[in-house]
Each structure stands twice: as C-alpha cells, then as structure tokens.
Amino acid sequence: MQFKSRWSATGELDFIVEGGIAPPKIIDIVAQNYHPAPVSVAGITPIIDIVAESGLHAVISHAGLDSLSSIVADNVIDKQVTSDDIEVDINVDRGIKSAVTSRNAQAIKRSNVISSYFEDSPALSSNIISLQRDAQSMQRSIDSLQQQLPKQQKNCIALQRDGDNVQSNIVQTNHRLADADRDLSSLFFKGTDCANDISSGYLYPSRSDCAKSACWQNTDALRHQVTNHFESGKAIVKQWLSHFEDAVNPTGQRQPIIIPPTIVPDHPITPLDFKFLWSNTGELDFLRIELDALIVMNEVIVNHVSSGSVKTALAPINATLDFDIDSFVYSLSGVLLGEECLNYLGTRAKFEIEVNGHKLNFVLREYSEATNFAHQAYSFTAVSSVQFLHKPHGELYTGNIESVTGMWQLIQSKLESTNFSLQRNTLTPEWNLAPDSFSYMNLSSIDLAQKAATAVGAILKPDILLDAIHVQPRYKFSPWNWKALTDAQCDHVIDANYITTTSSQDHQTPQLNTVMISGEYKGVVTNPVMDGTAGDSWADDVLSPLSQDHAVNNELARNIFSNSGLQEVIGLKFPVLPPGGDFGLLLPGDIVRIKFENKTVTGLCLNNNVPLQSIADIWQQPKIELNHGYS
C-alpha cells in the first residue's frame, strides 16, 4: 500500500493509500496531526509505527518538509531512507513548498491578529471588572428595591382602601344629593300650594267675628268667676250649719237665729279691655290682657275697578306702598299670580286699595311677566293718576306771559282740560308775573307746577283718592317752632310704645341764616335774614325769572333755612292704625310728634314704606327728619 498526501481544492490535506486499505487508526492520526501548521516529530512517529504494524509499503508525501527533515537528521529530499523494516519513500511535490509557505504566512498573520486581540485584552478585562462592579451595585439596588417592595405594596393597599372610602363617600353624597333634590321638589310643591292659597285672596276674620270671640272670652271669664263664688258659697253654708248646730239649746226650746253674712268680693272686677302686645322679636301678638287693652285687626282689600265701576278683588303678593317727599306720585307695586290676572292689567287699569281703613287709588303704569314663580305671574307697578300729566303721557305747552298773570292761575288753566284740580295750601302764596318775564316751551302742566313749587319752597303731593294735586310748603312749620306746637297742630302724635324698631342717620349741615334771591330781567331782589342771627351763613344765591315777589322770596328763604342745621333722620316701624286712632298712615310733608318716656320730639315725615307681605304683618316704616338745633 502506498500512502500519499495532497492538498485539495479547498486547501485541506487529503490522504491517498495505494496498494491496500489504510487502517482507520492511521487516517484518524493523520487527520489530527497533519494541518497547515508545522508538524512536530511527535505527530509523524505514530504514523510510521502504525504503517509498520500493517505490513504495508507506504509512500507518504507531506508538505511539512522542515518537520520531516527534523525527524531524520541525515535525510535529504528525494532520497530513500530505511528505518527498521519500513521503507519510507518521501516524495515531495515541488508545488507544495510554495503552498506551505503561503499557509505559513497566513498562520503568522492570524497569529498577529490574535496577538493584537491579546493587546486589547487588558482594557477588555478592565471593562469586564467595571461591569462586574456595576452588576454588583445593581444587584444591591435590586435587593434594596425588593426590601422596599412590601412597604410599597402596603401603601398601595392603603391607597386602594382610601380610594374605596372616597368612592363610598361619593356614592353617599350622590344619595344625599338625590334626597336633597327630592326635598327641594317637595318644598317647591308646598310653595306652589301656598302660592295658590295666597292667590285665593287675603283671608282675615271680620270685625263681627272678632267681637264674638271677645264676648265668648268674657263669658268664659265670668263663668269661672261664678263657679269660684258658688264653691265659696257652699263652703260658707256648710260653716253656717256647723255654727248653728253648736248654738242649739240642749233642751231644744230656743230656735236658732240665722244671720246671713254679707258677702264681699275679694277684689272689684274690672271690665276687660284689649291692647296689642309686642313679642321679643318685635312681632305683634294679638293677645288679650286686662285693664288697658286694644286689639289691632289688619285689613287689606285690593280691587280692580273697571270702566263701569265694577270691582274685582285681587290678591297681589309682595305688595308694597311707597311715598316720598321729593316725588309728585305715590306707587303700589306687587305680583299677581295666575294667567287670568292678565285681564286686569290693561292700559291704565285702575286699582283701589284699602289698608286698615285708609283708601288709595292707583293707575297701572307698567307690568312684566315674572319668571321666578311656579305659575304664571305678573309684576306690576301702579302710580298716582297725576303721573299721566307728565311727559311722555301729558300734553305739552309752549307760551309766553303776555299780560299780568298769577303763577298758580296759569297752571290751573292748563289743568282745566284734564279734569285735574290744583289744591293750594294757604301757606303757599300766589304771586303775579309781569308781561314778557317768563316763557316756556314743551312743558307739561306738572313741569310748570314743579317750577312754581321750587320758586316758593313748596312740594307737590298727589291726592290719594281724587284726580288732584296738593301744593304745600316743604316745612309747614319751621323747625325752630316745632317744640312750641300743640298736639292738635301736628298731623300725627305717636306714643313710643307703638314703635318696635328705630334707626338713625346723621344729616348735619351748617345752619344757614341768609340768602340772596333775585329775578332775571324782571322781578325783585330779596335778601332775607333769619331772626336773631347775624346773617353770616350764606346759602347759594337763587336767580330765577319767577322771583318777582318779596313774599314768595321770603317763603323760599324760610324753607331753605329750615332744611339745614343739626339734622337727624330716624327710621321707625309701627303699625297702621285705622282712621280716627292715635295716628294714621303717615304721608310725606306731615308733621309728626313722638312721645318717649323721658322726652318728646317733633319732626317732618320725608318718606314712608308699607310692605303688605301678609295680613298679620303690616307695618309702616317712615323716615322722620329731626332738627336738634332748636330742641
């Protein structure tokens, strides 16, 4: 067998055995030891031994020439050498040397690459150590996080429980809101029922019913007294019988003399009377008391008056009466419930109202649909009829004084076509205007009346029943004369016990005592001075084409002086008594006297407000001007 080697196309070393079959062990050893790298002696010796054992004649061609030469020192290329019984013919391919050289160069190159990798190995080793340290640190962080994990889990569980509680509270709140909504709905329906009850009319007991009730109460009181006296009489009779038995003659011969005793009441029975009492809250309690007594029964009637004088009862809610000294109209405002009330809100509809016997007439000025009620509702405002003499309702006049004309006479002439009358207080003088001294353009009769009132220090007051205008001084009596007035000269005298609440506002101004009043092109110049003063506190000068009479100018000056000084405005609250009582309904311009326990004050009524909220709660709330400079 000839065993040869050669390089295959892939660069591998193939083994060819000629003359026989090479044992597998030889092939394995050759495959393990024959490669491009130099072959050591230790790699060749086993092959030679195995071939000798096989009894074969082997011819081996090998690329590792240097290695073979080192195996047998005296061997030369292409020369046969014998070793023991084995003949080795080393046949060298001439092309193998170059191939071996190339492979050897590649091996060196790969060795250099490996060496270069080994040069970088310290840096890689440092990186690996750093990464190992980082890994240890990360491991410690992971351990710490794992230790914190149970605590965080507990916190999560607590938060979840809190969330459950919040959710439960939300559900409970929703239930409460639902209950509140139902309660609101219930209150709304109750309010609707109350509104329906109110809309049915003001209900109050008649005076006859009140008298009957009082009689029954008196009868009950007398019945109790009779019963007490009857019981006392029975006790006295029993006592008489006992004394009689003691006085009987033992022999029975004397008849007892019975002397009836004189029965004297324990105290005289005072006739009962009635008086209103105030509770701690200031509300009026209609309670009966003995001795000094009086009952105030409120009565409010509101009617719509048709053109044919047919009256229809109405029941306005939130109604209020307003009166002011600086306004020539009074007003009634309120709300009417029900769609049918729209029939009573026609143009200039007339209303008649009676409050505890005080009657007033009003004319509808405006209304609007109210939106804050459960049913159809209409807010309205009615005013004194004199309102419709003013712009934009009344007729306008333009003219010039061509001949001597009285100022109030001029105004009365403008009212003749309107069926209105002018009622002038005797304290307000009439005066004449000179020709070409006064002209007017597009003024209503009320505009002319206001100019005249301003020139003489007067106010305009509408009549509460008739189509009339009242003219009176703002101060019917000067404040320095108020203290000397008698009760009869005052419009109202009020016992302070009637008053439930009071308030005060400071309106002090310098006390004026002189003023210069002058006409324009025609007229007079007047410089009034208050009696007893130096005339050193001046009011603003007055320049007016209507200042053509000294008496008129003096009256204006008196009212200017009166409206200055140590003024205080007090607010009061007390009931509305019927006409003929101690006092009635206060109107602006009235002189009012109030008697307190330790003092008496007199003042001027500036305004009044009467809310008509319910039949049991009717109060007038006036503002009274006092002047402490003369008290």
What is the DSSP secondary-structure string of 303-349?
Answer: EEE-TT--EEEE--EEEEEEEETT-S--EEEEEEESGGGGGG--TT-
Q: Tell me the average pLDDT across 418-436.
A: 93
Tell me the C-alpha distance between 75 and 62, whole Å.
14
**161 CB-near residues (< 8 Å, 6+ apart):** none
More confident residue, 91 or 493: 493
Max CA pair span of the chain:
208
Can you spell out the DSSP letters for 406-421? EHHHHHHHHHGGGT-E
Using the predicted structure, report yes or no on whether residue 462 has a pLDDT greater than 50.
Answer: yes
Cβ atoms 452, 546 nearer than 8 A: yes
Tell me the C-alpha distance between 440 and 345, whole Å.
36
Q: What pLDDT, on a 0 to 100 scale, did the predictor assign at position 568? A: 95
Position of tokens 């006392």?
A: 232
AA identity, residue 320: T
Q: What pLDDT, on a 0 to 100 scale, did the predictor assign at position 15? A: 44
Beta strands 86-90 and 284-285: pairing type?
A: unpaired
User: Residue 305 — pLDDT band, cuts 50, 70, 90?
Assistant: very high
Beta-ladder partners of 443? 397
Tell me the C-alpha distance between 459 and 299, whole Å.
31
Q: Identify which of 40-49, 160-169, 217-226, 551-560 has the greatest average pLDDT.
A: 551-560
Tell me the C-alpha distance between 66 and 104, whole Å.
12
Q: What angle do CA 466, 470, 474 make, to 5 degrees?
A: 145
The pLDDT tens digits of the residues spanning 439-450 come to: 999 999 999 999
**80 CB-near residues (< 8 Å, 6+ apart):** 87, 88, 89, 90
- The percent of residues in the chain predicted with pLDDT above 90, rounded, is 45
Least Cα distance to 605 among 291, 324, 206, 328 occurs for 324
More confident residue, 415 or 52: 415
CB atoms within 10 A of CB 323: 27
Tell me the C-alpha distance between 355 and 620, whole Å.
11
Q: What pLDDT, on a 0 to 100 scale, did the predictor assign at position 29? A: 45
Using the predicted structure, report yes or no on whether residue 333 has a pLDDT greater than 80.
Answer: yes
Q: Tell me the average pLDDT across 423-431.
A: 92
AA identity, residue 161: R
Q: What pLDDT, on a 0 to 100 scale, did the predictor assign at position 251? A: 46
Q: What pLDDT, on a 0 to 100 scale, did the predictor assign at position 245? A: 55
Q: What pLDDT, on a 0 to 100 scale, did the predictor assign at position 118? A: 52
Q: What pLDDT, on a 0 to 100 scale, did the predictor assign at position 159? A: 73
Using the predicted structure, report yes or no on whether residue 422 has a pLDDT greater than 90.
Answer: yes
Q: What pLDDT, on a 0 to 100 scale, did the predictor assign at position 211? A: 56
Q: Tell me the average pLDDT across 10-23.
A: 44
What average pLDDT does the structure give for the chain? 75
Q: What pLDDT, on a 0 to 100 scale, did the predictor assign at position 79? A: 38
Q: Tell me the average pLDDT across 291-315.
A: 81
Q: What pLDDT, on a 0 to 100 scale, did the predictor assign at position 140? A: 81
Q: What pLDDT, on a 0 to 100 scale, did the predictor assign at position 371? A: 73
The pLDDT tens digits of the residues spanning 141-187 come to: 788 878 887 877 787 787 777 777 767 777 676 667 667 667 666 66
Q: What residue ranges do the domains of the chain occupy? A: 2-92, 207-269
Paired tokens of 507: 């309106």
User: Residue 139 — pLDDT band, cuts 50, 70, 90?
Assistant: confident
Q: Identify which of 74-78, 100-104, 505-509 has the greatest average pLDDT.
A: 505-509
Q: What pLDDT, on a 0 to 100 scale, did the predictor assign at position 588? A: 97
This prediction's pTM: 0.56
Using the predicted structure, report yes or no on whether residue 10 has a pLDDT greater than 70.
Answer: no
Q: Identify which of 84-98, 220-234, 559-573 has the greatest average pLDDT.
A: 559-573
Least Cα distance to 477 among 630, 341, 330 occurs for 630
More confident residue, 4 or 400: 400
Least Cα distance to 435 among 548, 554, 555 occurs for 548
Using the predicted structure, report yes or no on whether residue 137 has a pLDDT greater than 50.
Answer: yes
Secondary structure class of 240 (helix, strand, coil): helix
Q: What pLDDT, on a 0 to 100 scale, did the predictor assign at position 410? A: 95
Using the predicted structure, report yes or no on whether residue 349 has a pLDDT greater than 70.
Answer: yes
The pLDDT tens digits of the residues spanning 190-215 come to: 655 554 544 444 344 444 555 556 66
**432 CB-near residues (< 8 Å, 6+ apart):** 404, 405, 406, 407, 548, 549
Tell me the C-alpha distance between 377 and 199, whole Å.
10
Beta-ladder partners of 115? none
Where are the alpha helices (H) located in 407-472, listed in sequence order? 407-415, 445-456
CA distances from 178 to 150, 175, 181, 185, 227 (A): 42, 5, 5, 10, 60
AA identity, residue 464: I
Tell me the C-alpha distance between 286 and 276, whole Å.
6
Paired tokens of 594: 């109030």
